[in-house]
Structure 1
């Protein structure tokens, strides 16, 4: 099981990857939305804002998110690290129930480019 610091580093790496992206991936990442990533096995939630192609104001809090974010991810710590590290395919993890993504319909359509 990955720890909270490894999860934070994975989310920071994801932010870095999004900021370096180009083309349709970059366009999809340029949303301005609140974001939460619930880590079930650690019972904590990271929150931030997806803005200008990166994750900003990343914060960590114990338990479930205090407020409903526009884009909500739920997964285990190991799955987060594996996804960002390229060892786990998002579509397969989502289809298999290992990762949950919740967002508005328009955001889901736009985010599919990232998946």
Structure 2
């Protein structure tokens, strides 16, 4: 993390296209790190950061789904606008917290 950056929320989850990992919200950005898990010793290790989006680049935040609820956001990236959909435990809280950090 950068100087002056504070972690707000962090959760082990899965993204539709990126797979399993850990979603982290700070006061400056949203990041998603892939994880490597081993069943034999129940360990989980951080892998590479596959998504790192500044909060200024997030254009829209919403939640969707009835049974499989997801927090979703659209952000400006180097490849144009991209939409990310994360299966987190409390979509309502994640949505509110992201919106609060953006404003």
TM class by shorter chain equals 0.3 to 0.5
Structure ID, larger Rg: 2
Q: TM-score if structure 2 supplies the norm length?
A: 0.34
Q: TM-score if structure 1 supplies the norm length?
A: 0.32
Structure having the larger proportion of residues in strand: 2
Bigger relative contact order, structure 1 or 2 (CA pairs below 8 A, ≥6 apart)? 1
